[in-house]
Amino acid sequence: MVLSGRVTELEPLRHTPGGIPIASGRLRHESRQEEAGGLRTVELEMDWLAAGEAAKLLAAAPLGIRMEAAGFLAPRARRRPHAVLHIVKFDLLEENHGI
């Protein structure tokens, strides 16, 4: 899955009990998509999470930066079906911010 948008929330960097860095936040996506022969405005917010080196880089990103993120959807927790984008690859889209 690939999703682009602006980073609207960014939590402080944390670490798992095993020492793996974890960054998390929220991404706001806005676009116009073709559907059934017409254009549809799409606006949504999605929580995201990144681990390892990606987490370190994203934790230092400025709030409001545009990002294109690739990864997979997984539930936040076993008993909470709310989906979270687990980022495995990303590009910061502002000038001089490519990762």
Each residue's pLDDT tens digit, 47-87: 999 999 999 999 999 999 999 999 999 998 878 788 999 99
SS3 98: coil
For 2-58, write each residue's pLDDT tens digit: 999 999 999 999 999 999 999 999 999 999 999 999 999 999 999 999 999 999 999
Q: For residue 95, what pLDDT is reported?
A: 55
SS3 38: strand
CA-to-CA distance for 73 and 7, rounded, in angstroms? 17
User: Tokens 């490519």 map to which residue?
Assistant: 98
Q: For residue 81, what pLDDT is reported?
A: 80
Q: To which CATH superfamily is domain 2-92 assigned?
A: Nucleic acid-binding proteins (2.40.50.140)
Answer whether residue 96 shows pLDDT above 60.
no
CA-to-CA distance for 26 and 34, rounded, in angstroms? 25
DSSP 60: T
Beta bridge partners of 68: 4, 91
pLDDT band for 94, please (50, 70, 90 cuts): confident
